Amino acid sequence: MMADYWPFVVIAIGGWLATDLWRYLGVVAGNRLDEESEALRWVRAVATSLVMAVTAKLIVFPSGMLESSPLWLRLGAAGLGFLAFLAAGQKVAVGVVVSMALLIAGLLALS
């Protein structure tokens, strides 16, 4: 009976090693880092660049339901969402909600 479950045990242990172990090590190492260090500024810049690259790819080369929407609608929703983000004191949730609301409203109006 135990022979049927050993693959799940291996997957669980492998999954834990691949994720949680590194998270714990990151917390331990992160407590020793200066938040304003040049290394962490670089890491933040790379992370921000990756997020922006994925966002730009979704806007310019969409897939699925967004593929049928016009480029001007996607660009407009992203731009106005960014302006709302800035106007709200750089609240990410405001930028996301405004962008999504404008995109949904535009898609409904065009259909």
Report the C-alpha gap between 73 and 102 in whole angstroms: 8
- Tell me how many domains the chain contains: 1
Q: Is residue 73 part of a domain?
A: no
Examine residue 110 and state whether it is found in any structural domain, yes or no. Answer: no
* Domain ranges, residue 29: 7-34
CA gap 84, 2 in Å, rounded: 57
Give the pLDDT of the chain (111 residues) as one tens digit per residue.
567 777 888 888 888 877 887 788 878 877 777 888 898 899 889 999 999 999 999 999 999 888 989 999 999 999 999 999 999 999 999 999 999 999 999 999 998
- Give domain status of residue 22, yes or no: yes
Is 25 among the domain residues?
yes
